Amino acid sequence: MKRILIILVFMGVGSMAFAQSKSVDALYKKYEDNEEFFHLDMAGSFFDFADGLDFDFGEDGMATIAKSVDRMKFFKLPVGRNLSKSDFMDLQKGLRKERYDLMMEMSEKDSQVIIYSKGNDILSDLVLMIGGDDDDDFMVIELKGEFESQALAEAMP
């Protein structure tokens, strides 16, 4: 009985480590069959490969963050501005329900960047929402990994 319990605990921890935001996943699935939908999904082995290429990030903080990424999901919404804004508002509501914290919000004229995070000192998930005034300016980036809050704070403008 103890073995079964231990196995279940390890399986649960493993699945939590690769969990993703249900809200981001729902938005992704909403458009995945659309011909105009652009998405990019990179995972562990690609980041190991990229680490060997020795990219110059310019700042030590950015290099630390880049090395902390286990998975990145990026997609651009293939719909007009009004529907994209509505989708962004729904995504924000969903992230708050999932107990993501608003980490940063920047806006200037007709563009905005919103960052949500999950975790405390070590963040496990970052969701960046980038919106603009044009129809093709609505993007979502989800980063999975272990990010130190202090390193993120130092790397942000």
Tens of pLDDT, residue by residue over 104-145, are 899 888 788 999 999 888 888 999 999 877 656 789 999 888
Q: Are 75 and 97 in contact (CB under 8 A)?
A: no
Q: Closest Cα partner for 27 from 70, 85, 71?
A: 85
Lookup: tokens for 113: 């960047």
* Residue of 128, 144, 155, 145 lying closest to 62 (CA atoms): 155
More confident residue, 154 or 140: 140
Each residue's pLDDT tens digit, 18-46: 457 899 999 999 999 988 889 988 876 55
pTM of the model: 0.74
CATH class of 21-155: alpha beta
pLDDT of residue 140: 94
